[in-house]
């Protein structure tokens, strides 16, 4: 019997969810709203503890349907402050500016962390309102069988190092693709309602994170007159992998724990929410989680892996050309082409998968004498 069939059959027993991140709480909301007993076990004392009130983008470009419409249909409705972003400015490493825009939001800017107004608090509120029990300070060492595992990344293939701050700059969103600011990644500056987030998001050379962040800060100071009031440093990490093991001995793996991440740019939030909701749906209906997941996320997920492979192989002129293309018309349509899967993606997929280990997971640091966010948070330095 599949794990979801066992869980579906045993409808009186509480369902354990390990981890109260977006994926775990998405599962909890959908299950509890359907009347199932749910216990979420979270090792930290609050939700969003690995985030710092920084802005993240909940992407709205990889498929045509709006992300809130999609999660709404899956059973998740949230009330919290979010900023739809329809225009952004991208800089290439040659110095060109590309204005990227669409009539529909490209993404929704949301705050992450434990404070009021964050996505994490909104998810927690919705889970509790639906009747889920959340246990904080409850680290799970042996995950029980028949559980949903939502424990986030297990290693760092990408890190971000940055500052949150107050500012009198106008609301705007900027990104710069330049290896001198963020190796194989990008530096970003996001501003809304007098609050800002600046970070270097890098896919290699983690040891140099402080110097890259400094370079990113200077870049935006010169280019835009960056003004940071009371800056507070923050850092974080993510894991990129193929979608391989989503079920393991009776357990359903969701979110980043299942390797569900956007390998090109690290926009894992949508994957987390959708996979969490699909795991819950599979239990409620006794359907195969693997099948539901493949149907919805497989194409976009493997396109992300091919995109990262291509991005890393491309020179600065090719990257500038791609930005130029996206900025010429509807940016969502352009990005959908990149993420939507195509013959090009299918053809390159085996090569990208073969090179997966070498190309996606850079040994960004050797953990010796390193203070990158991963080493700091796992106590390896
Ligand atoms: C700096 C930074 C910027 C980012 N920006 C973006 C962005 O702009 N857009 C985007 O879409 N994505 C972004 N991401 C990625 C996004 O944050 C993640 O993909 C998403 O949070 C994954 O959700 P999750 O539920 O899978 O895991 P997590 O959010 O990591 O949640 C896992 C939870 O499980 C808990 N846990 C772990 N182990 C145990 C255990 N043994 N027992 C109990 N509890 C446990 C953890 O404490 C944690 O609360 C960013 C990530 C970082 C670090």
Q: Answer whether residue 136 is part of any domain.
A: yes
Q: Residue 11: pLDDT above 70? A: no
| Whether pLDDT at 333 is above 90 | yes
SS percent in the chain: helix, strand, coil, step 5: 40, 20, 40
How large is the average pLDDT for residues 174-202?
Answer: 97
Within a domain: 244: yes
Query: Is the torsion defined by CA of 67, 234, 220, 319 positive or negative?
Result: negative
pLDDT at 5 over 50: yes
Q: If you average pLDDT over residues 164-178, what whole number do you get?
A: 97
pLDDT at position 380: 58
> For atom 37 of ligand 1, which residue has the closest CA?
151
Distance (Å, whole) CA 112 – CA 119: 6
Query: pLDDT tens digit string along 228-240?
Result: 999 999 999 998 8
Q: How far is the CA of 351 from the centre of ligand 1 (A)?
A: 29
Whether 351 is in a domain gets the answer no
Q: What integer is the mean pLDDT of 305-327?
A: 91
Mean pLDDT of 283-294: 95
- The 10s digit of each residue's pLDDT in 123-151 is 999 999 999 999 999 999 999 888 999 99
Q: Is residue 207 part of a domain?
A: no
CATH number for the domain spanning 278: value is 3.50.50.60
Q: Would you state the pLDDT for residue 6?
A: 62
pLDDT confidence tier of residue 352, bands split at 50, 70 and 90: confident
- Residue 364 domain-assigned? no
| 124, burial (CB in 10 Å: exposed 0-12, middle 13-18, buried 19+) | buried
Model confidence at 357: pLDDT above 50: no
Q: Please state, rounded to an integer, the average pLDDT across all residues of the chain.
A: 91
For the stretch 29-51, pLDDT in tens is 999 999 999 999 999 999 999 99
Alpha-carbon distance of 235 to 206, in angstroms, equals 11
Q: What is the tens place of the pLDDT at every residue in 53-71?
A: 999 999 999 999 999 999 9
For residues 137 and 42, give the distance between their C-alpha atoms in angstroms, rounded to a whole number: 6
Ligand 1 pocket, mutate which of 16, 17, 18, 19 (most atoms under 8 A from CB)? 19
Percent of the chain with pLDDT over 70: 92
Distance (Å) from CA 47 to ligand 1 centroid: 10
The mean pLDDT value for 176-183 works out to 97
- The answer to the question of residue 251 being in a domain is yes
Q: What is the pLDDT of residue 3?
A: 61
> Does the residue 265 lie in any domain?
yes
Q: What's the pLDDT at 45?
A: 97
Helix residue ranges, H only, the chain? 3-9, 22-33, 67-74, 119-130, 209-224, 269-285, 289-293, 299-313, 316-328, 331-339, 343-354, 373-378
Task: Note whether residue 117 is domain-resident.
Answer: yes
The two tokens of residue 107 are: 């993404």
Ligand 1 centroid from CA 330, angstroms: 30
Residue 372 has pLDDT above 90, yes or no: no
Is 7 or 258 the better-scoring residue by pLDDT?
A: 258
Q: Is there an atom of ligand 1 within 6 Å of 25 CB?
A: no
Q: Nearest CA to 273 among 26, 76, 74, 98?
A: 26
pLDDT for the residue numbered 8: 60
pLDDT of residue 288 exceeding 70: yes
Which has more confidence, 279 or 245?
Answer: 279
How many domains, the chain?
Answer: 1
For residue 15, give its domain range. Answer: 3-85+109-152+240-296
Place of tokens 């990344």: 153
- Cβ neighbours for 3, distance < 8 A, ≥ 6 positions apart: 145, 146, 247, 250, 251, 252, 289
pTM above the 0.85 mark? Answer: yes
What does the block give as tokens for 175?
């990104």
Cβ(48) to ligand 1 under 6 A?
A: no
Ligand 1 centroid, distance to 21 Cα (angstroms): 6
């Amino acid at each position: 019997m599949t794990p979801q069939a066992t869980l579906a059959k045993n409808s009186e027993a509480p369902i354990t969810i390990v981890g109260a991140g977006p994926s775990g709480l998405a599962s909890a909301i959908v299950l509890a709203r359907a009347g199932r007993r749910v216990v979420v076990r979270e090792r930290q004392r609050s939700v969003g503890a690995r985030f710092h009130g920084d802005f993240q983008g909940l992407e709205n470009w990889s498929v045509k349907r709006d992300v809130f419409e999609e999660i709404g249909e899956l059973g998740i409705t949230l009330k919290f402050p979010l900023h739809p972003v329809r225009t952004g400015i991208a800089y290439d490493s040659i110095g060109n500016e590309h204005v990227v825009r669409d009539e529909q939001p490209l993404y929704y800017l949301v705050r992450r962390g434990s404070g009021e107004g964050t996505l994490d608090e909104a998810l927690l509120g919705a889970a509790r309102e639906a009747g889920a029990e959340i246990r904080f300070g409850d680290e799970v060492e042996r995950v029980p069988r028949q559980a949903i595992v939502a424990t986030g990344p297990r290693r760092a293939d990408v890190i971000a190092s940055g500052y949150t701050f107050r500012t009198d700059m106008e609301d705007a969103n900027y990104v710069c693709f330049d290896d001198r600011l963020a190796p194989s990644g990008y530096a970003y500056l996001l501003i809304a309602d007098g609050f800002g987030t600046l970070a270097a998001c890098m896919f290699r050379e983690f040891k140099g994170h402080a110097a890259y962040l400094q370079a990113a800060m200077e870049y935006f100071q010169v280019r835009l007159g960056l003004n940071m009031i009371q800056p507070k440093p923050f850092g974080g990490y993510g894991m990129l992998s193929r979608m391989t093991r989503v079920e393991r001995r009776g357990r359903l793996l969701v979110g980043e724990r299942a390797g569900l991440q956007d390998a090109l740019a690290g926009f894992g939030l949508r994957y987390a929410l959708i996979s969490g909701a699909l795991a819950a749906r599979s239990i409620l209906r006794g359907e195969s989680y693997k099948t539901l997941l493949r149907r919805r996320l497989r194409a976009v997920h493997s396109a992300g892996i091919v995109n990262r492979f291509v991005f890393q192989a491309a020179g600065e002129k090719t990257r500038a050309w791609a930005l130029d293309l996206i900025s010429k018309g509807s940016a969502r349509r352009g990005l959908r082409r990149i993420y939507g899967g195509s013959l090009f993606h299918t053809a390159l997929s085996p090569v990208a998968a073969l090179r997966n280990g070498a190309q996606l997971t850079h040994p960004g640091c050797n953990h010796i004498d390193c203070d990158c966010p991963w080493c700091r948070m796992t106590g390896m330095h």
